Structure 1
């Protein structure tokens, strides 16, 4: 299984007679089965746009996005997306939220129900199957969202800053759970974050994006053993390596902008 972004450029039309916005420019990236790839970069560099293209929610202005040589043109359960907000159905129970996909595909049966219960056990919600989302914490709701994606057995998991709104304690716990539950040799994961620590904890490869227009600045291999120890020297060294790459962008963003003479 191979995902390929080939020379992807994305322009958005300007508003109120303003010039078009070049969000991405000639981005090429290949992701293989079993890989966990993290997109890291400043706001507006096109990370989420790349994710939406692979999800089938957006199209390149030029270039292509393919899965096993077939161009991605529309959403599919085989490419499951986890958003920053859980986007659960508030009128459905936890169990029924997880079963929503199989129900819509006509695959709701005893086997899928058993699978949903097992997934909820894995994400630590076995005792909350009958609860409605508004009775759950933010972290618990995001666990339901993850189980709802996993039950469809997607070939690709797309995650757009799924833990950004959580407190630090919950965020770390969710990262550990996510790494453990999504790892499969026949599945690829593309994950968007602004957090260097989160990127190093989760990724096999970190794709560092430049400020808009988004381009790939560099790709950093993270060959640390799993589960990863955030306090280890190797982990901290890898974080330092990433910070060195993005340091120029951080300094540039803090400098006042002046008009050319």
Structure 2
């Protein structure tokens, strides 16, 4: 047993220090076996989960939920810092100093004499500093070498398109992006109806359609992962409502009752608009 008493703190410094202390205690030899077993990879995955849970609360405009999930995000970030410090990779203080120094360096329009007139010029200045001052350049043989290879495919598509946009290679107007989505859908339908020896062409065309849809989402200013996350949640909520109605009305969920299920589905949707 570790002798520790929680106290509500009044300052940011004291609150962060208490979180750091608790995380260190949990990771100590007298702490929690589960916390000691966690690795950078497992905690990073938890961080992603908690970030999406925070997004859920933002979408629902739930302030208590946002507060709780942001706390969980900070917990996992602090756990990652603690693991790196335990491994003598770097300290928490070094990581915080580095990010503060980077923020000052990349905002000369705030902390020095550089001038910008728009957020677009801010991005151009930011990218120029990353390339010319920090030396963060793509490899000679791979323009996308700075796009993390561990990204899931949806996020990877978005990051590839964003990087291409940075050098000006982008659609001039949204109409062109919409036409590209329609073109890719047409090619999917053509591949579906004229398959010869394998499904490879159809699979590639489906991938092109997904890529074009990600492009449209990005062009309109939305994150495709968040957009799909919201649609997933909407489908879960609607089908769970259908599931409850089906149980209430003794409607089996199977192929023989598709008409009844469709009626329940329309009922659920109509309830959402009231």
Calculate the TM-score normalised by the size of structure 2: 0.22
Larger Rg: 2
Larger RCO: Structure 1 or Structure 2 (Cα < 8 Å, ≥ 6 residues apart)?
1
- Higher strand residue share: 1
- Higher helix residue share: 2
